A = this chain, B = another copy of it.
Amino acid sequence: MTSTTDLLTRRTQALGAGAPLFYEQPLHIVRGEGVYLYDAEDRRYVDMYNNVPCVGHANPRVVEAMARQQATLNVHSRYLHESVVTFCERLAALHGAQIESVIISCSGTEANEIALRMARFATGNRGLICTDATYHGNSELVGALTRLGQQASPNPSVRAFPFPEKYRPIASGLSENDLCEAYLEKLAAAIADLQASGEGVAAMIVCSILANEGLPDIPAGFMDRAASMVHEAGGLVISDEVQAGYARTGQWWGYDVTGFTPDIVVTGKPMGNGLPLAATAASRALVETFRAKTRYFNTSGSSPLQAAVGLAVLDEIEQRDLAGNVATVGAALKASLTQRKGASNTIGDVRGHGLFIGVEMVEPENNVPDTDLAKRIINRLKDKGFLTSNAGAFANVVKIRPPLSFSQADASAFLIAWDETIAELAV
Contact = CB atoms under 8 A, between A and B. Distances in A.
A190 B296 CA distance: 28
Interface string A59-83: 0101100110011111111111110
Contacts of A159: none
Nearest to A88: B14
A371 to B, nearest CB: 16
Contact of A110 (B72, B107, B290): B107
B75 A32 contact: yes
| Residue of A63, A74, A116, A294 with most chain B CB atoms under a 10 A cut-off | A74
A106 B52 CA distance: 15
A320 interface: no
Contacts of A74: 32, 53, 57-58, 273-274
Nearest to A293: B150
Interface string A137-174: 01111010000011000000000000000000000000
Interface in A265-306: 268-269, 272-276, 284, 287-288, 290-292, 294-303, 305
A73 B303 CA distance: 22
Interface stretch (A4-12, A175-183, A222-230): A4-12
Q: Which 8 A-B pairs give the minimum distances between C-beta atoms?
A: A18-B291, A67-B67, A74-B274, A16-B287, A14-B88, A276-B276, A276-B300, A16-B101
Nearest to A292: B18
Which size bracket describes the interface of A in this complex? 35 or more
A77 B19 contact: yes
Contacts of A290: 16
A26 interface: yes
A13 interface: yes
A2 interface: yes
A89 B30 CA distance: 19
B274 A16 contact: no
A94 interface: no
B80 A295 contact: no
B77 A71 contact: no
Given A141-B140, A300-B52, A73 B117 contact: no
Interface of A: 2, 4, 7-8, 10-11, 13-22, 26-32, 37, 50, 52-53, 57-58, 60, 62-63, 66-67, 70-82, 84-85, 88-89, 92, 100-103, 105-110, 113, 116-117, 138-141, 143, 149-150, 268-269, 272-276, 284, 287-288, 290-292, 294-303, 305
A11 B80 contact: yes
B299 A32 contact: no
A289 to B, nearest CB: 9
A50 B78 CA distance: 11
Given A80-B29, A139-B139, A294-B138, A14 B75 contact: no
A252 to B, nearest CB: 18
A99 to B, nearest CB: 11
Nearest to A51: B299
Contact of A70 (B11, B62, B109): B62
B269 A299 contact: yes
A383 to B, nearest CB: 15
Contacts of A2: 82
Given A58-B71, A274-B305, 14 more contacts: A16-B102, A17-B288, A21-B78, A29-B73, A58-B70, A58-B72, A106-B276, A108-B299, A109-B110, A109-B298, A110-B110, A138-B297, A150-B294, A274-B303
Nearest to A10: B85
A66 B295 CA distance: 31
Contacts of A116: 140
A15 B299 contact: no
Contacts of A80: 4, 7-8, 11, 21, 26-29
